[in-house]
Chain A
Amino acid sequence: DAKTTQPPSMDCAEGRAANLPCNHSTISGNEYVYWYRQIHSQGPQYIIHGLKNNETNEMASLIITEDRKSSTLILPHATLRDTAVYYCIVRVDGSGGGADGLTFGKGTHLIIQP
């Protein structure tokens, strides 16, 4: 799996958009970008994933650059409950396409300020 680089921590004001960057300059053509988050004392939670097109769901939006070397997770209206560690993971599609375990880096600790 390709290596990812994320800032160790970020602050965001409540109600504002939180933009979390991830660098994955060595990503391969068949690797997806996944985002998970881990709220304190809980298990990780899936947020979103994408290959090359931008994606949006009820939790967040994922913007992937055209060269796919970086991406941004956007939480459009951050709340205090979004305070968590956010992990960007790059891997081959897990639906039978390769190794299925997740490799977590250190992630970004996002702190939402009231």
Chain B
Amino acid sequence: DAGVIQSPRHEVTEMGQEVTLRCKPISGHDYLFWYRQTMMRGLELLIYFNNNVPIDDSGMPEDRFSAKMPNASFSTLKIQPSEPRDSAVYFCASRLSSGRIEQFFGPGTRLTVL
């Protein structure tokens, strides 16, 4: 299996622009998570889905952030408009609801907002 796939790996954009991060979970996994990592705040959970349905979005910073999961093999995290304080590494992770319960993380997307 290719593992969790994220794209792009690096994104540089200007303040005010829309940014879309993409994630393909491991095939068959029914949970998908979005995390953000910064030096100041460490790793934070933003939102997670179960069977494509958002379960907990309490970690989403504000209305500028939105996440969707239109099907079991694809999710997006959108920031509109982006701000310099959104600069961070964004990780996507997936797991199964039964059997092995660890989360498998993708390589992350490094976002820089100028």
Instruction: Tell whether A and B belong to one assembly.
Output: yes
Q: Given A43-B105, A43-B106, A43-B107, do A103 and B45 touch, yes or no (CB 8 Å)?
A: yes
Question: How near does chain B come to A40, taking the closest CB pair, in angstroms?
Answer: 11
Q: Is the CB of B56 within 8 A of A46?
A: no
Size band of the B side of the interface?
20 to 34
Question: Nearest residue in A to B96 (C-beta to C-beta)?
Answer: A95
Q: Is the CB of B102 within 8 A of A49?
A: yes
Task: From B55, B59, B108, give the contact of A100 (CB < 8 A).
Answer: B55
Assembly CA distance A101 to B97 (angstroms): 13
Residues of B within 8 A of A104 (CB): 42-44
Question: How near does chain B come to A16, taking the closest CB pair, in angstroms?
Answer: 27
Prevailing SS type, chain A contact patch: loop
Question: How near does chain A come to B44, taking the closest CB pair, in angstroms?
Answer: 8
Assembly CA distance A24 to B102 (angstroms): 20
Task: From A95, A105, A106, give the contact of B98 (CB < 8 A).
Answer: A95
Size band of the A side of the interface?
20 to 34
Task: From B45, B91, B97, give the contact of A96 (CB < 8 A).
Answer: B97
Question: How near does chain A come to B62, taking the closest CB pair, in angstroms?
Answer: 18
User: Is B76 part of the contact surface with A, judged by Cβ < 8 Å?
Assistant: no
Q: Is the CB of B31 within 8 A of A45?
A: no
User: Is B104 part of the contact surface with A, judged by Cβ < 8 Å?
Assistant: yes
Residue among B31, B44, B103 with max Cβ neighbours from chain A (10 Å) = B103
Q: Is the CB of A46 within 8 A of B102?
A: yes
Name B's A-contacting residues (CB within 8 A): 4, 31, 33, 35, 42-45, 48, 50, 55-56, 59, 91, 93, 95, 97-98, 101-108
Q: Given A43-B4, A44-B103, A100-B31, output 9 extra A-B contacts at Cβ < 8 Å.
A: A34-B102, A42-B107, A42-B108, A43-B91, A94-B95, A100-B33, A100-B55, A100-B56, A100-B95
